[in-house]
Structure 1
């Protein structure tokens, strides 16, 4: 069970296990007193120790705290804290709420706990020192054996090779020492450095394993999302095909457009007297048709085809459907004559045949072919803007000439 506590010393709040609370063993999440002061263990992290440059006993201590919430797991406790406001009960007279006898008992328990923790730390340090000394002695013993076996090492009188040596003796005589004290200190320092490096390597290995597991999970999730997107995309295309087919069958102009498209497929390559027949009513010179067919973008193909069919001057005074722009109606805009519907149908059929030749099919072909009217409208607006710009430039030139005169 975990508790969300508030330390009185610095008003810091933290999530701790209930085992870190002195003389506290709750049976449920409501088994605590909001007005009671508890002793909660706190240990600084390695980063806090380095940042605050603490020295001496930095392994933590018990501090007066207040329990705010209890929960079965740490995840539930974090969810409670993040989703709701945590009430804090004020404790008045925190220092005077108990008499001298209770304070003495409180301090004795705290002292006993501190002494026990200190004794455990001293014992662990002694064990580490003993294990270090034993490892160093073993390493030195192996080095001495290898040196005794070497014929290049001089031996003192009375010592034979492969004989047993007293590895625990610390003789300082120059004639009888096979391994000097300097070498012993170097070996100890090397062993300590090696031990620290092993700790760092194990930590890095653990972090790498955690990162690799997270990477595998992310890759698996990415594959699942990609598969789901493929299925949704396929279903979307199928739905678009069904909707478009239904509206196309209900539209009164659908049979006429279909017949125009079929006629275009049958006659689009027919050349008679240097003219190419497109659909029912469009006939273009072969040179213009070849120039239009060199385009690779949808918008440029439609715009060039419209200019080839109607011409730039005719397009300036026409509109696609004969309806004025809603944005310009308040400014006095009037409707212009619409483009010939039969020619528009032939242009759409020509555009669809051109898209099929480019390798487009299915729902994408239907979606792209619907934009032919907007392309023609853009071309008409461009021609009108260009014409207005030329007129304004000529007007400015005339005004400048008048001013000079």
Structure 2
């Protein structure tokens, strides 16, 4: 008993295995190779429709049909008067073609699918991000160039100002050292008014005069040795400048057991707080360090960060003094 058939749809030449009940008007004793039939086609959404098709093979079961198909290629004979039969069955073939054409047209009108829309959106987003990044890079490049030009101008002005200041100091020093000329009349009157010389015992020399003459005011009345100040200013490194200036203001013995701000050490909570350094003297050291940085041409934007390093230099110096003191105590007999 024939239960399945292998058919080929005429409009799109697609082949399929269908149940014999899906073929309209089929009889077992018919010459099925000589005519067209209306065969059911099921869409993916479950909708069914009958289309014009030819029966190529029949079988008593689906397995029997598969065995016949596996034997090899089989020839599909031409239908006698096939053009007439196609014209007669045009009403069966037309709906599937129209449905396919309508589906293609609807897809074209509908535009891109959801995946394509997502890809287009991602592409537009990447392009916008790229353009924004390019604009930001161009803006930053322009800002850097402007800052470089401004920095060069500031350095040139700083050098000019320093040169003018040095020239003014040299001029003032030369004027103060030059003796005032005296006329002959003033010399004669001075000689006439000069009282007779009386021999007096030599005055007691003050032990403070040499110290006062050999000190330099580094700011706000804070004085250190002139030779030490010159040596400190000649240091090429900022760290050595701060550390030597600290030991010139305080002696190493005075710095022993001191801290910068007198804060409690979080590493050793049981230890008592150390005495802080004088804020006034620390501020004078900070002003000296700031003046040094300005002379080196440091811009104002970088000044706060550079001044923060001064605290680190001071803490390092205090730690070094304490370390050397402990080492000296250990070396004692």
TM-score by length of 2: 0.40
Higher relative contact order (CA 8 A, sep 6+): 2
Q: Give 1 or 2 for the bigger CA radius of gyration.
A: 2
TM-score by length of 1: 0.33
